[in-house]
A and B are shown apart, each in its own frame.
Chain A
Amino acid sequence: MNNPVELKNLHIKAGNNTLVNNVSLTVKEGEIFGLVGESGSGKTLTAKAIIDLLPEGLTYTADKIITAGKDMLTASDEEKRDHIGKKIGYIPQNTVFYLHPLIKIKNQIGDGYIQHMHKTKKEALEKAEVLLSKVGFKSPKTVLNYYPWQLSGGMRQRCNIAMALMNDPKLIIADEPTTALDTTVQKQVMELFKSINEEMKLSILLISHDLGLVKRYSHSLGVMYAGQIVESGCTETVFNEPGHPYTRLLIKIIPSLKMKKNEPLTEIPGFVKDKDRDSKGCLFYCRCPKAMDICKEGVKEHTDDTGDHYYRCNLE
C-alpha cells in the first residue's frame, strides 16, 4: 500500500481567516482522483499544499501530508523541492504564463530532467520529442524551437503536459487542465490523460469544476465546498447514491443533451461562504434546501462499511 497522496486534516489559513478546513484525501496508486467544487472552494489551495507551492502569506497545518512516498511535514525545503521535481508532474490551470515567455521551449522543457535524472541536454531533447509527439504534435522539432508566445493556448497546454511527463512521474497534479481549451481540444487532452493513466499506471489528481468531466474520467472523487470535503468516494457510488444535498444538486444541474430548447439551466442560488469556514455547523446551511435547525450547531459524519464512501450531513 503506497498511496501517491495521503492527506490528513489539512487546514490552510490566511492570517485568522480559514480557507481550507480539515481536508483529508487519499489518491490511490493508478487511479484518477477528481477534486470538484465551485470557484473559491479551496481545490487549488489543497493541491498546492500537497506540492508545497502555497502563495506567500498563507500558513498550513496538517496531521499528515505524504506525497509520492515522502513525508512532506518532516522534510527540509531542499528535500521537498528535489522530491517534488523528481516524482511529480504539475499541470497548471492558467497556461499562458507558466512557460517562461523569453525562453525557447527546448531550453525549458528538459531542465528538470537534466538535473534530476542526470542526463545530457541531447537526451532530454530526444525524450521531449517523443513526449511532444505523444501529446499530439505532428512536428515536435519545430515546436521545440518556438517561444511559448508563438504557440496557441492549447499548444502551450500540451507542452505543459509533455513537460510534466518528462521525469516519468508517479503522480500528476492537473489543476483544471482544460479550462482554457475549447471542447474538442478538451476531449483530446482528457483522452490523453486517460491513456497515460492506463499505460503508465500513473496516478492523476484532477482538479475541476466540471462534474461531467470528473464523472467520465475519474475513478474516485471528492466534492469540496467552502474549504471542506463534503463527500468523497468511488465515482460510481457517489453518483448513484449521493449522500450530501450539495452533491445531489450538483449532479442535478449537469447540463445534458436531452434538454429542451429554451429550457433554463438550473442553478444553486447563493454564493460559497468565504468567512467563518471553521464554524462547527454545516457550511452549506444557507443554501441547502433541506436545512434543519440542528445544522447550525453541528454536522454528522457518515462512512459506509467499506470505509470508502464518506459524507457529512445531518440527513440519514
Chain B
Amino acid sequence: MLSYVLDRLKSSILVLFVVSIITFFVLMIIPGNPAQLILGTDATPEAIAELSSAMGLDKPLYQRYLSWLLDLFKLDMGKSYVYGESVTTLIGRSIPVTFSISIFAMAMAVFIAFLFGMLSAIKKNSIIDYFSRSLMQLGTAIPSFWIGMVLIVYFGVRLKVLPVSGFVPIDRGFADFMKSIFLPSLVLAIGEVGTLLRIVRSSMLDSLKQDYMDMARVKGLSAGTIYIKYALRGALTAPLTIIGMQLAKLAGGTTVVETIFALPGLGRLVLTAVEHRDIVLLQGLVMFITSTVVIVTLIVDILVMFLNPRIKSFHRGE
C-alpha cells in the first residue's frame, strides 16, 4: 500500500516539475518586456534597462528559471506589479473565497447527486427517475452565468434575502459567511450535479444487476443494508473519481461565478493577471492551481484504493 502511495507521489512530483518548466518558458516567450509594461510607454530606454537588470531579466533563461524554481520552494513567487504585493499574499487571500465556494458547491452537488442518483436507479422509470433525468439535462444545459443572474435577481434584488455580491469571511459571522457563499455555490453545484448524477445513477444500475445483489435479497436483508452496504458499496469508484476531478476543476478557478458575484477569488486573480499581462502573478497562479489539481487527484486516488482493495494487490503484482 505504501509503495502505491509513493509511486503516485513520484509521478505527481514529475507532473509538477514538467508544468513548472512549461509555465515558465511559455510565459517567457510571450512578446513584450515586463519592465516596459511596468514603466509604461513613456519610459526612457535607460530606465527600462535598469529595471530589467534589477528584475534579473538580463540573465540567461535557464538561470532565471532555476532561481525562480528555488524561490518557489521557499514559497516566494515574486511580486505582482499590478497589485504591488507578493504573489503568495495575493493567493493566500483568495484561497478562502474560492475554496469555500468550491467545497460547499461540491457538498451540495454530492448530496443531491447521490440522493437522486440512488433513488432513480432503485426506482427505475418512476416519477423520481424522470425527475432526476431532467435534472441531469438541465444541469448540463443551463449556462452558469445565466442561472447566476436569475438567482441574483430573484433572491438578491426581489426577495432581498441574500446579498447580491461580495464575500464575508468566516470570522465575521458564520451566518453572513454562508449567506455570501450560498448563491455562488449553488450556481457551481447546478453546473456539476448533472454529470455526477448521471455517473451515480449508471453505477448504481450496474451494481444492482450484479449477482451479489441476488444474494443480499435472498438473505432477506433490510432495504438499507441491501442498497447502501451492498449496492452503493459496489458503485462508489466511478463517482468518487468524478468528484475528485470536479473538485480539482472548481478549486483551480471559478472565474465566471466569481465575476458575476464580484468575489475576490482565484478566478478573478487569474483574469486580472491575464488582462494586465502580470506574468509573475500568472506564473504563480498556474503553479498553484496545478499543484492543487495534482494534490486533490492524488488524495482521490488513495481514497479509491482504500475503497477498492484490489488496486493494492494489482500493484503488488498479485
For residue A53, CB closer than 8 A to chain B, the reply is yes
Interface string of A87-125 (1 = CB under 8 A from B): 010101010111111110000000110011000000000
For residue A81, CB closer than 8 A to chain B, the reply is yes
CB < 8 Å neighbour of A98 from B212, B307, B313: B212
For residue B230, CB closer than 8 A to chain A, the reply is yes
Q: Which residues of B contact A51 (CB under 8 A)?
A: 218
B307 near A53 with CB under 8 A, answer no
Q: Which residues of A contact B220 (CB under 8 A)?
A: 81-86, 112, 115-116
A97 near B221 with CB under 8 A, answer no
17 intermolecular pairs with C-beta atoms under 8 Å apart? A51-B218, A81-B217, A82-B220, A84-B218, A84-B220, A85-B219, A86-B220, A88-B218, A90-B218, A92-B214, A98-B211, A98-B212, A101-B310, A103-B229, A103-B233, A112-B219, A147-B309
B219 near A100 with CB under 8 A, answer no
For residue B308, CB closer than 8 A to chain A, the reply is yes
For residue A149, CB closer than 8 A to chain B, the reply is yes
For residue B44, CB closer than 8 A to chain A, the reply is no
A115 to B225, CA, bound (A): 10
B229 near A102 with CB under 8 A, answer no
For residue B222, CB closer than 8 A to chain A, the reply is yes
CB < 8 Å neighbour of A102 from B214, B221, B307: B307
A149 to B318, CA, bound (A): 11
Q: Which residues of B contact A98 (CB under 8 A)?
A: 211-212, 214-215
Interface residues of A (CB under 8 A from B): 51, 53, 81-86, 88, 90, 92, 94, 96-103, 111-112, 115-116, 147, 149-150, 163
Given contact pairs A85-B219, A98-B212, A102-B308, enumerate 11 new A-B contacts (beta carbons under 8 Å). Answer: A85-B218, A86-B220, A92-B215, A99-B212, A100-B212, A101-B310, A102-B307, A103-B230, A111-B221, A112-B221, A147-B310
Q: Which residues of B contact A150 (CB under 8 A)?
A: 313
A83 to B61, CA, bound (A): 77
Give the dominant DSSP class at B's interface.
helix
B225 near A100 with CB under 8 A, answer no
A111 near B217 with CB under 8 A, answer no
Find residues 194-225 in chain B having any chain A CB closer than 8 Å to their own CB.
Answer: 210-212, 214-222, 225
For residue B244, CB closer than 8 A to chain A, the reply is no
B229 near A111 with CB under 8 A, answer yes
Question: Closest CB-CB distance, B234 to chain A, in whole Å?
Answer: 6
Question: Closest CB-CB distance, A69 to chain B, in whole Å?
Answer: 15
A86 to B307, CA, bound (A): 30
Query: 3 nearest interchain CB pairs?
Result: A85-B220, A112-B219, A97-B211
A81 to B217, CA, bound (A): 7
Q: Which residues of A contact B216 (CB under 8 A)?
A: 100
Question: Closest CB-CB distance, A205 to chain B, in whole Å?
Answer: 13
Q: Which residues of A contact B308 (CB under 8 A)?
A: 102
A231 to B234, CA, bound (A): 43
B233 near A53 with CB under 8 A, answer no
A53 to B220, CA, bound (A): 11
Q: Which residues of B contact A163 (CB under 8 A)?
A: 219
